[in-house]
Amino acid sequence: MLELNISELKLNSPLILASGILGVSYSSMKRLIDAGFGAITTKSIGPVRRKGFKNPSIIEVYNGSFLNSVGLGNPGINSFITEIKEIKKFGFPLIVSVFGDNTDSYIDVASKAEKAGADAIEINISCPHAEVSSIGIDKNLTYSVVKAIKEKISVPLFVKLNPNVTNMDDIALAAQKGGADGVVAINTLAAMKIDINVKRPVLSHGGGGLSGNAIHPIAVKKVYDLYKILKIPIIGCGGVSTYEDAIEFFLAGASAVQIGTALYQGYGIISKINQGLKKYLKENDYNSISEIKGLAHNYKTQEVPDFD
């Protein structure tokens, strides 16, 4: 009932671990697999080891909403190859998120990840507190980077989109034109929290990315708009903590959804959402999750009245 194919990936559940959350060691990824995820997206991996920003780097700003500025801390692709090989021993769909300093380094990291066993590559061109965001705000850069990487790898290529732009549709279309097999919408929203007593930003880096419940309605609208213009699959991401949140994404046009911030509640939330999805489908006489994709588009919004 929850099984689906997205590009060449076969998933037992439409729930995917979002990049940046627990996807840095095979042991933590294995626990998430056992908990019921359909696929795992690793933390964004770069060409070399990167420490990231100093603490405080993550805070809860509202109930279920967090602000983070981790700074793409990661062990580097050469060290991470071991983790990829270990998790692939379980034959589970693995999406490796990658970033680079330039097009060549993106290609190098993506190619090494594929060779190590990655089933798909997700390129991070949209982290709001790192240099890679400069790619995701420019449609021409997005097109050229996606095209260059796609020409060098044979596994599916997903592009994580930047919501901190004037027109995300143009960026998504550029990714599709460049050969992307799907897009992930959305990354975190640029935000800041200031301590009024010490009169400085709370996070050590200053600004960061907002995730969780607060951004869910924004993410749903972005997916809804993208579904009207794209021919490639959309993976919804942003504030999914209940099965109802996930259903919203599917109705808006998503083929699958990523979950990250909600895991602060514990691994049990994955099974809870999976069971909720099954119950919803059964109660509404659907046989698969794909049957509800985009159904919200069948509804016609109210037209502006003509007072002439």
Catalytic residues: 127
Residues 270 and 148: their CA atoms lie apart, in Å, by 35
Contacts of 128 (CB under 8 A, 6+ apart): 162, 164, 187, 188, 189, 190, 207, 208, 209
Listed in sequence order, the DSSP H helices in the chain are 26-35, 77-87, 103-116, 133-136, 139-150, 168-178, 216-227, 243-252, 268-283
User: What are the backbone dihedrals phi and psi of residue 236, each rounded to the nearest 5 degrees, phi first?
Assistant: -75, 140
Nearest Cα to Cα of residue 19 among 39, 47, 5, 49: 39
Helix (H) or strand (E) holding 184: strand 182-185
